[in-house]
Chains A and B, each alone.
Chain A
C-alpha cells in the first residue's frame, strides 16, 4: 500500500512539473534601374525547381508566450494563404512550417541545427532567449533569419544573417520620447522598468529622450518579473513627487500600476507614457477605463484606413473573437511578403545544389530592400533594419487608441 501511495505521489508530482512547462498588394516596388534590370534578367533565366516553397517558422506556440506566438503565426499563415490565392511565389505555392520551440533555447537550438541542413530561409526564432541560442548557429552556417519581432540590437549581433523589423532602439525612441515630453511639458519623471529582454535598453532610450527635452529622470523603479502586488511600487514612485511617468514593463503590470497610481491620487493621465511592448490585449482588458488619457507609442497604426489593412484587420477579428490586431501581428505577414519579393526578384530557384548561393541572394536583397510595400507602410532597409519606418503616438480612450502624432525619422 505504501509503495502504491509513493508511486501515485511521484506520478502526480511528475505530471505537475511537466505541465508547468504550457493584400493584397503586389510588390510593385521599384529599386534602382540597374537593380531592376539585374532582377529581371535573373527571373528570366531562373527556373524554379521546387514544387512548393517551405518556409520554417521557429515560433512559440506553447509555453508562457504562446498567446503572442499564435497571432504571429496567424499573420504568417494569412500571408501565405493570400499569396497562394494569387498564384504563389514564382508560380509555386508557399507553406509555413510550424516549429514550436516552447520558448526553450534548447529546442530552438536543436530545431535550427536541423534547418541549417536544407532550409532556404528561416522565420524567427521568437523570442530573445531562443534567438540568442539558435541564431548563432544559423549565422555560422549562412542561413538567413527573419527575427522580425526582436529589437534591432539583438539582430545586429548576427548581421548580415539576421534582420530586424525595428530601427536601433536608442535613436528612434529618443526622438519619440523627446517629442512627447516637449508636448506634455514633462519635468521630473519616474520610470517603471522590468528587467526583461530589450526593455532595460528601451528604458535607457526613454531617459535620453527626456533629457533631450530638458526633463529629468528621478528614478527607475524596478518592476520584479514575478511581482503580484503593485501598491508598494506606486508608493515608491509617488514618493519622488514626479510630474511624468513612463512604463517599460509587461502590459498587465502597466495596467495594474496605473490603477494603483490613480487610487493614490494621480490625475494627469496625459503625462503617462506607455512603451510599445505593452500594447497588448492584457493592457486594455486589465486597465479598462483607468487608462483613459494615457499616451502609448507604437510602430504600427491600428487606425490605418487602407483596403489591405482593413482586410487584414477584418480577417484577424474574425479569427480572434472580435479582437483588434495586436501591434506585432503584421510583422511575420510582412516577412512572408518580403521573402516572396526576394525570391521573385533575385531569381531564386530552390535548387538544393545552389542552396548557399541562393541563401546569400535572399540575405543581400532583404538587408537593403528598397521601398518594401509592407502591410502598414512602405519602407526601405539599410544594413538589415528599416531606415524610415514611422513611429506613432496614441491617446488611449475606452480601450481605443486615438492617433495624436506620427514621427518619421529624418
Chain B
C-alpha cells in the first residue's frame, strides 16, 4: 500500500466518523460541534499516555473513547434538550477552551503539538495495513449501530423531535433523554476518532482541531445528505479527496470551491445528494425484487412512501 493511498483511506475514514458524530445529534436538530473538542482531548490524551506511560493501543483507544463519552455526557446533562443555537455556542466555546489550554500548557507541546507517537507495530508497512483494518472496522461498527438506531423506535422518535418538538413531547417522547444519548454517543465517536487520528498521523497539533475542520465535516454531511447516514459515505471520499486532484493553480482556491459547492447543493437539493426517500426507494426495490410485485401497484407505492 502506497503512503498516499494509506493517508487517503485513513483520513477519509476519520472524516466519515466525524461527520457521523455531527449527524447523530442533528437527528434531533442539534449541531453538536463539541465533538471536535472531544476529538482533540482524546487525541492528546492518547499521545501522552502512549509516549509517557507506554499504554498499549487497545487500552488507549478504549480510554480515549470513554473519555469522550464521559465529557459528552457531562455537558449533555446541561444542553441535552437545548435549542440548536445554544448547542452551537457550547460547541464553539469548548473548542476554543480546549485549544487555548492545549496551546498554553507545556506538556501538550504548546502551539506546536506532540509528535513521534509510536507505531502500533514496528514494521512501517505492517503498521499502515493494521491501522487501515482497525479504522475501517470501527467505521463499519459505528455505521452498523447508526443504521440500527435510524431504524429503531428511538430513531423515529428523534425524527419526530427534528420535525416538531411539541408533537414529539405530546407522543411521550423525552427530548432531553434522547438528546443526552445522542450527544454522548457523538462525543464517544469524537473521542475514538481523536485516538485513531493521532495514531494515523503519529503526531497532533492544535492546528488539526480548527473551525476549518468543522466546516469540512459539515460540508460532507450537508452535501452528502443530512437525513441519512449514507450521504456521508458518498461525500467524504469525494470532498476530502477533491483537493488532492486539484491542479496546482487552483489549490489555493479549494476553500472557496467548497463554499460554492455547498451553496449550490443547498439551493438545488437542500436535503443533500442522498435523501431518506431515496434510501427508502432503494430498499423497496430490494425488498420487492424477489416477490414479482409490479412497482406500479398501489400497495407498493404506499410502501415506498
Contacts and interface: CB of A to CB of B under 8 A. Distances in A.
Interface stretch (B6-14, B61-69, B134-142, B169-177): B6-14
Contacts of B218: 10, 13-14, 17
A104 B263 CA distance: 24
Interface residues of B, number: 49
Nearest to A140: B124
Contacts of A116: 3
Interface residues of A, number: 48
Contacts of A224: 104
A295 to B, nearest CB: 27
A25 B246 CA distance: 36
Contacts of B293: none
B86 to A, nearest CB: 13
Please report whether the interface of chain A is mostly helix, strand, loop or mixed according to DSSP.
helix
A4 B259 CA distance: 18
Secondary structure of the B contact surface, majority rule:
helix
B113 A104 contact: no
Given A14-B219, A18-B258, A21-B212, A106 B4 contact: no
Contacts of A136: 115-116, 202-203
Interface string B237-256: 00000011000100110010
Given A106-B201, A196-B111, A100 B252 contact: yes
Contacts of B266: 7, 10-11
B4 A113 contact: yes
Contacts of B2: 113, 117
A141 B215 CA distance: 33
Contacts of B31: 10, 13
Interface in A15-67: 15, 17-22, 61-62
B270 interface: yes
A109 B7 contact: yes
B222 A10 contact: yes
A158 B111 CA distance: 20
Interface stretch (A125-133, A230-238, A239-247): A125-133
Contacts, number: 135
Interface string A335-356: 0000000000000000000000
Contacts of B252: 61-62, 100
B48 interface: no
B4 A129 contact: no
Interface in A218-270: 224-226
A328 B259 CA distance: 33
Contacts of B106: 195
B299 interface: no
A195 B207 contact: no
A195 B110 contact: yes
Interface string A192-206: 000111001000000
B288 interface: no
Contact of B207 (A10, A62, A105): A105
Interface string B1-42: 011101110010000000000000000010100000000000
Q: Which of A6, A21, A195, A224 has the most CB of B within 10 A?
A: A21
Contacts of A104: 207-208, 212
A109 B10 CA distance: 12
Contact of A98 (B88, B115, B210, B248): B248
A324 interface: no
A99 interface: yes
B103 A14 contact: no
A110 interface: yes
A133 B201 contact: yes
A200 B112 CA distance: 12
B208 A21 contact: no
A11 B263 contact: yes
Interface string A346-373: 0000000000000000000000000000
Interface of B: 2-4, 6-8, 11, 29, 31, 84, 88, 100, 103-104, 106, 110-113, 115-116, 124, 201-203, 205, 207-208, 210-212, 214-216, 218-219, 222, 243-244, 248, 251-252, 255, 258-259, 262-263, 266, 270
Given A61-B251, A106-B201, A116-B3, 5 more contacts: A20-B212, A99-B248, A110-B4, A113-B7, A136-B203
Interface of A: 3-4, 6-7, 9-11, 13-15, 17-22, 61-62, 97-100, 103-107, 109-110, 113-114, 116-117, 128-129, 132-133, 136-137, 140-141, 195-197, 200, 224-226
22 contacts: A4-B270, A6-B84, A10-B266, A11-B222, A11-B262, A11-B266, A14-B215, A17-B211, A17-B218, A18-B215, A18-B255, A18-B262, A20-B211, A21-B255, A62-B255, A105-B113, A110-B11, A113-B6, A140-B124, A195-B111, A197-B112, A225-B111
